[in-house]
Chain A
Amino acid sequence: AQSVTQLDSQVPVFEEAPVELRCNYSSSVSVYLFWYVQYPNQGLQLLLKYLSGSTLVKGINGFEAEFNKSQTSFHLRKPSVHISDTAEYFCAVSELQGAQKLVFGQGTRLTINP
């Protein structure tokens, strides 16, 4: 069975600073990888996904993530954050074969300070 670990439960950064949110996964088979964002009082929306091909994936709102198979990681980055990026971020995986079930990490709360 697969599992996902988000290494930081909270990340505070100043506005216009770069940020990296870390995600590591464990699986015995190949996986698809996703990052979702949850703004206050809303459901989750997709930021980006890795299915195959280039290991650097670009998403919405200036975010990108890099898939590293040897380190089983899928870290999310943004070079310059804005106040509006304050939200909770979830990393998730699903297996290529079998049921289309997502397994989520515990979430990282990103707080942007002016």
Chain B
Amino acid sequence: DVKVTQSSRYLVKRTGEKVFLECVQDMDHENMFWYRQDPGLGLRLIYFSYDVKMKEKGDIPEGYSVSREKKERFSLILESASTNQTSMYLCASSSDRIGNQPQHFGDGTRLSIL
């Protein structure tokens, strides 16, 4: 079974801090994704990556950046955290660039910015 592991289940940070959310997958997947989940809005794509050292903006990239130095690891960075970034963050991976492959999700990180 594919396992996608997010480093923290719960995280509390202060406004203005630089925040790192880490995600690791163990199935040698090419594609990795970061979403945020908010009530009534479903999941919205922040950034994704098809390969090491490459990244593409999703639908809501403002205030975020990402890093993919190794194939199995995809990090989401909040450059200067703000209260409107309080949310659930979900990482996912998939095996192919063709759209028919399902994405496999981690359990999420619930981030609170005070």
CB distance from A107 to the nearest CB of B (A): 5
Q: Which A residues fall within an 8 A CB radius of B? A: 4, 6, 9, 31-32, 34, 36, 41-46, 49, 51, 90, 94-107
Which B residues, 39 to 85, have Cβ-Cβ distances below 8 Å to chain A? 40-45, 48, 56, 58
Q: Which B residues fall within an 8 A CB radius of A? A: 4, 31, 33, 35, 40-45, 48, 56, 58, 90, 92, 94, 96-103, 105-108
Given the complex of chains A and B, what is the CA–CA distance between A43 and B43 in angstroms? 11
Given the complex of chains A and B, what is the CA–CA distance between A72 and B100 in angstroms? 18
Given A44-B105, A101-B48, A90 contacting B43 (CB threshold 8 A): yes
A100 and B31 contact, CB distance less than 8 A: yes
Given A106-B40, A106-B41, A100 contacting B108 (CB threshold 8 A): no
Given A43-B106, A44-B90, A99-B56, A94 contacting B99 (CB threshold 8 A): yes
Given A41-B107, A42-B107, A43-B105, A96 contacting B41 (CB threshold 8 A): no
A107 and B42 contact, CB distance less than 8 A: yes
B45 and A102 contact, CB distance less than 8 A: yes
Specify which chain B residues have a CB less than 8 angstroms from the CB of A103 in the assembled complex.
45
Specify which chain A residues have a CB less than 8 angstroms from the CB of B105 in the assembled complex.
36, 43-45
